[in-house]
Chains A and B, each alone.
Chain A
């Protein structure tokens, strides 16, 4: 089993573990284990009520493709592996 932060299926809490939305109604009866989001082909089964599935698929693949390496690496590690760097000067 991986580090919970490594699974990166739910929003990451400041403590390094997944947010389980413990202030949301019916949080106590999740569709699967608290710290995992049930998915089909990489897509969450449950979506926010105001989020049409097609939008979500588009936004999700767009954000995955656009994630900088630094954020991708750090989100899967238990500490900051790549520190933010100043942008290179434009020539």
Chain B
């Protein structure tokens, strides 16, 4: 028996605030400890402030998903104040949210994930030359095409949100910028250009064909575009069996909009979806450098353990649903929504499943966004009135 420890990190893909400690026995990982070496404490920053400041403070949690944080803050304030967005306001907020989601997915696939397969460690693999040509850092043809296409897609965020990151456009009772007819035409042509990019580079075929895949067998037969290259690599390296999660998937539903959410909410487990109960969420502190007991986010406190006790190893709280971990993200959203391919992937549950589900969500979100933008009517009101109550409780879930 050989046992040793490996410290992976800091990861430099985004900010470096992640460190993973691996305990390895007989060439396999026996235990993994994921740690955030950076204490954030955003909850503590909000205490004592005007609740409306949540719209400014919470989006700064993240430089990637700031609109999602913004939408959650606006929903929580709306829930507390009993405010509602006019349907067109909700539609515009959902478009902003969806565009960020789409941009993040293509960034992850191209810049954070596929990039790794261009490393010299894989020299000699039959697919390596193609991976080098497409995904070498700062040089790959796939990378460059994606960065350009993504920058153009983000024009929609500029049009509707004024800027990205940290827009204040999404408010509890609507959005602040009313797109006119010219904006709608521009957004339509921006989306059309992004579809061309996806169909030419990423999928190598119409998006509807990928979105219509129903089985793992059909997915395996996909050969075109970077998706085809990814599936070839996944087969060769056994990515389907790598990194299997708890196979318990939670989604509150993507992009709250005019006609409800873009995807259904629920908890997927062993092929069946049950309603997800937000009251059953707990933040577990057993291995966190945090004081206090496991509690619902409404009741919990964020008091760091300055002693950094030995039984803990992370500045993160661990979210649990009804006492057990649950996976979130594209795979969860698509499986809970009931897409047949995503459900098959949810059972598979590994690295390939997560990446393939992200690709599926790219295709479906692009199609969904086109329909949302087509429904933008510049004559409608986008903002209603709301009053902040003296005391209230609210929850915002995205």
Interface residue ranges, A against B (CB under 8 Å):
1-5, 13-18, 20, 22, 32-35, 78-80
A13→B164 CA distance, assembly (Å)? 12
A80-B171 Cα distance, complex, nearest whole Å: 20
**Given contacts A1-B387, A3-B176, A79-B180, are A15 and B52 in contact (CB under 8 A)?**
no
Chain A residues near B168 (CB, 8 Å)?
Answer: 4, 13, 15, 17-18, 20, 35
User: What's the Cα separation between A4 and B163 when bound, in Å?
Assistant: 16
A34 to B382, CA, bound (A): 22
> Known: A34-B56, A35-B56, A79-B178. Contact between A3 and B383, CB under 8 A?
yes
Partner of B50 from the list A5, A14, A18, A33 (CB cut-off 8 Å) is A33
A16 and B56 in contact (CB under 8 A), knowing A1-B388, A4-B168, A22-B166? no
Nearest B residue (CB) for A30: B53
Query: What are 8 sample pairs from A and B whose C-beta atoms fall under 8 A apart?
Result: A1-B385, A1-B386, A3-B174, A14-B162, A15-B161, A15-B167, A17-B169, A22-B166
Main secondary structure of the interface of A (DSSP, over half): loop
Given known contacts A16-B176, A20-B56, is B163 in contact with A2 (CB within 8 Å)? no
Interface string of B160-189 (1 = CB under 8 A from A): 111100111101011111101000000000
- Give Cα distance in the complex from A17 to B168, angstroms: 6
Shortest Cβ distance from residue B56 to the other chain A in the assembled complex, whole angstroms? 4
Residue in contact with A16 in the complex, picked from B53, B178, B385, CB distance below 8 Å: B178
Shortest distance between the CB of B171 and any CB in chain A (Å): 7
CB A39 to nearest CB in B, in angstroms, measures 16
Give B389 Cβ to nearest chain A Cβ, in Å: 11
Query: Which residues from B are CB-within-8-Å of A80?
Result: 180
Q: CA separation between A17 and B388, bound complex, in Å?
A: 18
In the assembled complex, which residues on chain B have CB atoms less than 8 Å from the CB atom of A32? 50
CB-CB under 8 A from B178, the residues of chain A are 16, 78-79
Chain B contacts for A20, CB-based, 8 A? 56, 168
Interface residues of B toward A: which range?
A: 20 to 34
CA of A13 to CA of B180 in the docked complex: distance in angstroms? 17
Contacts of A4 in B (CB 8 A): 168, 171, 176
Residues from chain A with Cβ under 8 Å of B166 in the complex: 22
Is A78's CB under 8 angstroms from B383's CB? yes
Please give me the residue from chain B that is nearest to A78 by CB atom.
B178
9 nearest A-B pairs in the assembled complex, by CB-CB distance? A15-B162, A16-B176, A16-B177, A17-B168, A33-B50, A79-B178, A34-B56, A14-B162, A17-B176
A17 to B170, CA, bound (A): 10
Nearest-neighbour CB distance to chain B for A36, whole angstroms, equals 9
Whether B383 contacts A34 by the Cβ 8 Å rule is no
Contact assessment for B163 and A33 in the assembled complex, using a CB-CB cutoff below 8 Å:
no
CB distance from A38 to the nearest CB of B (A): 12
In the docked arrangement, what's the CA distance between A78 and B173, Å? 13
Interface string of B345-387 (1 = CB under 8 A from A): 0000000000000000000000000000000001001110111
Which A residues lie within 8 Å of B378 (CB)?
A: 79
Determine the chain A residues whose CB is within 8 A of the CB of B171 once the complex forms.
Answer: 4, 17
Cβ A34 vs Cβ B53 within 8 A: yes
Q: Which residue of B lies closest to A34 (CB)?
A: B56
The interface residues of chain A lying within 8 Å CB-to-CB of B167 are 15, 17
Asked whether, in the complex, the Cβ of B169 is within 8 Å of the Cβ of A15, the reply is yes
Considering residues A3, A13, A17, A22, which has the most beta carbons from chain B within 10 angstroms of its beta carbon? A17
Most chain A beta carbons < 10 A, residue from B56, B173, B388: B56
Q: Are B162 and A16 in contact (CB under 8 A)?
A: yes
Question: Do A15 and B386 have beta carbons less than 8 Å apart?
Answer: no
Tell which of A1, A34, A78 touches B176, judged by Cβ atoms closer than 8 Å: A78
